[in-house]
């Protein structure tokens, strides 16, 4: 026991200071919200849209990017002959409404609505949020990044947010995966077992829109086809910091209201 205590003292404090301090450094290979310099796009070029595996890029009027469909892969950037597409370091992407994830392609900032709960729900839930995680046909990438939040470095429980084993002990569901046909009934029953008022959080492109499986006969193109969704957290998978930021905004621990994330020029 003494050895354990000594080892712990030697390790010192490992939990990050965020959000009281600066967020953890993101790796160089991190790909945040894409930015497209449409002014440099040649007329009639559809290379980026043709390369997108999920149809996240639309060239109609107005041209837009759907972050809910985006896999944050480099296919559009690699296909652009003018190198007009770059990925920013923007990790704050969570939104309460699905339409807030659809942004103009030439916008110089990504703008999503504030994600905080209503005062009534805050009062009912208090300062805690108990979630039942449901993997509805996912590949386990979103699940892995969600599980990172339980490690000593992130320590999600310090915010009163915890994952529970039973939906009957939960305030809501955190759902990953495109909701396969074989998981649709299980997801519905899990939701029904959560007492009102109950929340649903869709994490990852699959849970929001079907991801790479979009429009496949065996998936439901995301959680919203089955349940009402209260928070969308895009990514494939979302970085743990993106997930944490969304959860903190939902519970009002970060500033509410519209927030703008200025992206670097490509």
The answer to whether residue 177 sits within a structural domain is yes
Residue 255: pLDDT band (50, 70, 90) is low
Quote the number of domains for the chain: 1
Q: What is the pLDDT of residues 118-176, one digit of tens each?
A: 666 666 666 789 999 999 998 999 999 999 999 989 999 999 999 999 999 999 999 99
Three-class DSSP category at 260? strand
Least confidently predicted of 56-65, 66-75, 126-135, 223-232: 56-65
pLDDT at 6 over 70: yes
Of the CA atoms within 13 Å of residue 49, those in its CB half-sphere come to: 14
Instruction: Tell me the average pLDDT across 87-113.
Output: 77
Do 227 and 200 form a contact (C-beta atoms < 8 A)? yes
* Residues shown for the chain: 266
Structure tokens at 23: 């967020």
Q: What pLDDT does 265 receive?
A: 40
Do 231 and 250 form a contact (C-beta atoms < 8 A)? yes
Q: What pLDDT does 261 receive?
A: 43
Mean pLDDT of the chain: 86
- Pick the residue with more confidence: 11 or 87? 87
The answer to whether residue 79 sits within a structural domain is no
Q: What is the pLDDT of residues 22-31, one digit of tens each?
A: 899 898 889 9
Residue 258: pLDDT band (50, 70, 90) is very low
Structure tokens at 190: 């899990």
DSSP letter, residue 179: -
The answer to whether residue 66 sits within a structural domain is no
Residue whose entry in the numeric block shows the structure tokens 């009027």: 61
Q: Percent of the chain scored above 70 by pLDDT?
A: 85
Residue 259: pLDDT band (50, 70, 90) is very low
The answer to whether residue 175 sits within a structural domain is yes
Domain harbouring 160, CATH code: 3.40.50.12280
Q: What pLDDT does 122 receive?
A: 67
The answer to whether residue 160 sits within a structural domain is yes
CB 255: neighbour CB atoms within 10 A?
11
Domain housing 191: 119-250
Residues 6+ apart with CB under 8 A from 39: 106
Q: What pLDDT does 39 receive?
A: 76
- Which residue from 201, 212, 131 is spatially nearest to 164, judged by alpha carbons? 131
The answer to whether residue 239 sits within a structural domain is yes
The answer to whether residue 235 sits within a structural domain is yes
Q: What pLDDT does 262 receive?
A: 40
The answer to whether residue 214 sits within a structural domain is yes
Q: What pLDDT does 170 receive?
A: 95
Q: What is the pLDDT of residues 184-231, one digit of tens each?
A: 999 999 999 999 889 999 999 999 999 999 999 999 999 999 999 999
Cα separation, 204 vs 136, whole angstroms? 12
pLDDT at 264 over 50: no
Exposed e or buried b per residue across 171-203, where buried means at least 16 C-beta atoms within 10 angstroms of its C-beta: bbbbbbbbbbeebbeebeebbeebeeebbbbbb
Least confidently predicted of 54-63, 117-126, 172-181, 243-252: 117-126
Cα separation, 86 vs 84, whole angstroms? 7
């Amino acid at each position: 026991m003494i050895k354990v205590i000594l080892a712990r003292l030697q390790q010192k404090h490992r939990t990050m200071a965020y959000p009281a301090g600066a967020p953890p450094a993101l790796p160089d290979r991190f790909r945040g919200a894409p930015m497209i310099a449409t002014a440099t796009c040649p007329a009639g070029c559809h290379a980026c849209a043709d390369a997108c595996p999920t149809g996240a890029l639309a060239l109609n009027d107005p041209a837009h990017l759907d972050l809910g469909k985006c896999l944050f892969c480099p296919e559009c950037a690699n296909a652009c002959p003018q190198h007009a597409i770059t990925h920013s370091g923007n990790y704050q992407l969570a939104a309460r409404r699905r339409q807030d994830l659809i942004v103009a392609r030439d916008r110089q900032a990504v703008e999503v609505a504030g994600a905080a709960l209503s005062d009534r729900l805050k009062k009912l839930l208090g300062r805690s949020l108990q979630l039942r995680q449901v993997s509805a046909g996912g590949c386990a990438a979103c699940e892995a990044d969600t599980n990172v939040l339980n490690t000593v470095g992130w320590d999600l429980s310090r915010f009163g947010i915890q994952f529970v084993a039973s939906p009957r002990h939960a305030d809501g569901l955190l759902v990953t995966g495109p909701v396969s046909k074989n998981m649709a009934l299980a997801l519905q029953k899990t939701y029904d077992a959560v007492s009102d008022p109950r929340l649903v959080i869709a994490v990852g492109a699959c849970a929001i829109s079907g991801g790479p499986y979009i429009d496949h006969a065996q998936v439901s193109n995301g959680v919203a086809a089955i349940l009402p969704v209260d928070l969308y957290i895009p990514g494939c998978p979302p970085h743990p910091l993106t997930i944490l930021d969304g959860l903190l905004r939902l519970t009002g621990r970060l500033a509410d209201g519209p927030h703008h994330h200025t992206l670097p020029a490509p």
